[in-house]
């Protein structure tokens, strides 16, 4: 996975891989979460430090993203 890509892109790429579809075949991530804020708060080493996590549903998966930018898809 391209760890230089924005966190939101990494997430959609991972779920599309699991589903065996192209990323554009998934519903827009923006329908579930503000991707710009997600990328700024959790996806950049030079962004503001945020302690915590965010959890939401996307494409039938429960997604948890930690303050380190790591995510879990269940």
Tell me: the pLDDT tens digits for 39-69?
A: 988 876 666 666 889 999 999 999 999 988 8
- Please state the rounded mean pLDDT for residues 17-43: 94
Q: Domain coordinates of the chain in residue numbers? A: 7-73
pTM over 0.95, yes/no: no
The pLDDT score that the predictor gives to residue 2 is 62
Q: How many CA atoms lie within 13 A of 69 on its CB side?
A: 19
Q: H or E stretch including 68?
A: none
pLDDT of residue 69: 86
Q: How far is CA 67 from CA 21, 31, 50, 53, 74, in A?
A: 28, 22, 6, 6, 18
* Mean pLDDT confidence for 19-28: 98
Mean pLDDT score of the chain: 90
């Amino acid at each position: 996975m391209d760890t230089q890509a924005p966190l939101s892109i990494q997430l959609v790429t991972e779920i599309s891989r699991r589903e065996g579809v192209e990323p554009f075949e998934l519903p827009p991530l923006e329908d579930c979460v503000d991707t710009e804020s997600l990328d700024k708060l959790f996806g950049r080493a030079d962004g503001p430090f945020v302690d915590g996590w965010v959890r939401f549903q996307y494409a039938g998966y429960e997604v948890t993203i930690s303050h380190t930018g790591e995510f879990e898809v269940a």
